[in-house]
Each structure stands twice: as C-alpha cells, then as structure tokens.
Amino acid sequence: MRNGRIPVLVLAGFLGSGKTTLLNHLLANSLDLRIGVIVNDFGSVGVDALLVGGQADGVVSMGNGCLCCAVEEGGVGPMQDRLARRRAGVDAIVIEASGIAEPGVLVQLVLSCENPRITFGGLVEVVDAAEFERTRARHTELDRHVGLADLVVVNKADRVAPATLERVQDLCRAVNGRAPILATSHCVVDPRLLFDISVVTGRQLMLGQANGADSEDLDGHLDHSGHSSNAGHAGLTDDSGHSDHSDHMHAGYDAVSFVTDQPVDPRRLVQFLTERPEGAYRIKGFINFGVTGHRQRYVLHAVGRYLRFSRSPWPAGQSRHTALEIIGSGLDRGALGLALGSCVRPEPADGDAMLAVIRYTF
C-alpha cells in the first residue's frame, strides 16, 4: 500500500476475453501483496466469484446485475469500504467487471469514492485476439473501452495467426496510442506491470497512481479518450436524477442460469454446446458428470464457437453439482431450459461417453 492509501485497479474486457484468468494469475503471483477482489458476474450463479474465492484475501461478489449501474445502492463505494477496513489488511483491490460493463463508468465510480484510504490505480482492458474483430464489428463502443485503458492485454495470442495478432494490436494502438499493448497467452502478465513498477513508457502503471496523479488528472486522462471533463458523472444519471443505462452495452444482453444436483450426460451436453444458438455468445460454469474416473469438477468456458473444459478438484465444502451461465442476446429462456434439462440424467453415463468431453479438455 502506497502512502497509506489502497490502490483500486479496474479489470475490464468483453465476454470471455480472459479477465478471470488474469485475475487468478495475479492472485497466484501477487508479490506478497494482499489483494482484495470485487467480482461482478452478470448472471446469478456467480461463476467468476467461485473461481477466485479461494485465492483472494477478501472477496465481495455482486451477481445478477452490472456493477456500473449499481449507483442506486451507492455504487461500488460500499464494496470498496468493506475491503479497505484496516482489519482486513488488504494492500490493493482489484475490481473484475462483468464482460459487458462500461469501464469508464466504473473508473468514475472509483474516482468518486469518498473513502480517504482508497485511490484509483488504473484500468486494464483485456482483448480477445481471436474474437476482437468480430466483436468490434457488432459493438463499436469497444474502441472507446480500449481507448480508456492504461494497459491493453491482447490475450489468446496462441490461438491466432501472427498476421491476425498484429492486426488486432494495430487496431488497439489506433484508438489508444499511449497505453502499453501486451500480447499474452492465458493472460500471463508480469505482476510488476500492475503493481507500481516502471514500464517501457517511463511512467508508473496501475496500483499506485502514476506520478501521484489525482482525480482531476485522471478526469483529464478520460478526456483524452473522448470523455468531457465538464461532464462530471454524465452517463450515470439522466436529467431527472434516475439511472439511465439503456445505452450501455449490457442493455442488449441477457443471462440464463441452469443449476442441477443430478449428473449431466457428457455426449448430450457437448452436442448442446456445439449446436448452441448463435445468440448464446458466452457460456461458463461447473459441470458434474459423475462418471467413474472423472468425478472432478469440470470448468467450462465457451466463447463464440470456441469450447474448452478444464479439470480441478471440488473445493472443500462445495457439493458436486452443475451450475451454468449462458450470456447472449435474443436468448430463448424456455428453449435453453429444455435443451439443458435434456442433458440431465438420474444416473451417471458410462466412461466412453466422456470421450466427447476429453477432446475439448486442456
């Protein structure tokens, strides 16, 4: 903690870009800093909070909504206050935004926090190299999000051709010519880039406020990317004083949750995932297949047409169950519920059925 104040880093990026992967990497390589985490899951299951809960020095989770629109409940302030209490012993706070949050609003909410122990530490935008061009064509506001960042992490470099990676980096550099742009695989970032360490730009980055910058300086920084310094918190409320976030990216998205305590059939689930509706852009969660020899917790990540499982032990005290979150636009809740319900079976499948999953397991 620098000068007795706790820096708050905002970690943003579109659905499935790798924010939770980056956060877990930072927690596992924290340079002995005690890191508190605020996790915002757009849906109600809280998948991301469960993925980081065992590593952080304190976790505050907000599910079933978007943190950038929590102004009616005092915004992010009360969550920061909980982690900033002296007895919590936290040196830094990381806010992992939902994949469809407005990072500029989150930055303003941190800047407006009245807790004297808290200071803004920077904005990291994670970009999915494999999906960015397609996503950017649908959501032109992603250029603005990248333009606000203090560090741009172009993730999944291992999944694209060198020419594609260079093109994505050039697109990011075109809208943000001052921030470092770092290409990574699996979000492996040197934590010293985020924890008050000088980098190639010759200035201090993240968690520690570069060159002692204050809120006024950072408002000017937002200005550079297209926000007016005279706007105050424009965008948080309308003229009547009520929240208006119809122009936020998440206004066009919905989340459908699915939870069951019964085993899930591997073949049926993989068939659903590979044939899922076009609007179901992001699917994440935990799977209990219950198959002999495969009783571990299977973690699912699906982004666009990409599909991946990974295995890990079930955390102590957590019962074996399946909890999925489907995020997308134009989702048919009834059809998705029926399709996922058809994947449930009273008894586990046979071992051969796991071959359908193993081909996507890393």
pLDDT tens digits for range 80-94: 777 877 766 788 888
pLDDT value of position 294:
94
Of residues 306 and 267, more confidence is placed in 267
pLDDT (mean) for 55-62:
51
Model pTM greater than 0.95?
no
d(CA 310, CA 65): 27
Of residues 102 and 231, more confidence is placed in 102
8 A C-beta contact, residue 122 and residue 9: yes
User: Quick check: 333 pLDDT over 90?
Assistant: no
pLDDT (mean) for 100-109:
83
d(CA 195, CA 27): 12
pLDDT value of position 195:
63
d(CA 37, CA 50): 12
8 A C-beta contact, residue 126 and residue 155: yes
d(CA 118, CA 1): 10
pLDDT value of position 305:
75
pLDDT value of position 6:
84
Q: Which range is least confidently modeled, 96-100, 168-172, 288-292, 337-341?
A: 96-100
Residue 67 tokens read as 């943190």
User: Quick check: 204 pLDDT over 70?
Assistant: no
Which residues have C-beta within 8 Å of that of residue 3, sequence separation ≥ 6?
none
Place of tokens 């695989």: 185
306 forms beta bridges with 303
Q: Which range is least confidently modeled, 26-30, 97-101, 200-204, 249-253?
A: 200-204
d(CA 135, CA 157): 16
pLDDT value of position 75:
56
Return the DSSP state at 361.
B
pLDDT value of position 328:
81
d(CA 151, CA 306): 25
User: Quick check: 201 pLDDT over 80?
Assistant: no
Q: Which amino acid is residue 289, in one-letter code?
A: F
Q: φ and ψ at 223, to 5 degrees?
A: -55, -45
pLDDT value of position 306:
81
Q: What is the mean pLDDT of the chain?
A: 75
Return the DSSP state at 264.
B
No. of helices (H) and no. of strands (E), the chain: 11, 14
41 — pLDDT class (breaks 50, 70, 90): low
141-148 and 162-175 helices cross at what angle (nearest 10)? Answer: 80
d(CA 146, CA 26): 21
What is the DSSP track for 66-128? -GGGGGGGTTTHHHHHHHHSGGG--SEEEEE--TT--HHHHHHHHHT---TTEEEEEEEEEEE
User: Quick check: 181 pLDDT over 80?
Assistant: yes
User: Quick check: 318 pLDDT over 60?
Assistant: yes
Give the DSSP H/E element, type plus range, for residue 167: helix 162-175
217-262 pLDDT per residue, tens: 333 333 333 332 322 222 222 222 334 444 444 445 677 889 999 9
User: β-strands 6-13, 92-96: how paired?
Assistant: parallel
206-217 pLDDT per residue, tens: 433 333 333 333
pLDDT (mean) for 39-64:
51
Share of the chain above pLDDT 70, in %: 72
b/e code 159-168 from CB counts within 10 Å (16+ = b)? ebeeeebeeb
Share of the chain above pLDDT 90, in %: 35
Q: Which amino acid is residue 56, in one-letter code?
A: A
pLDDT value of position 178:
85
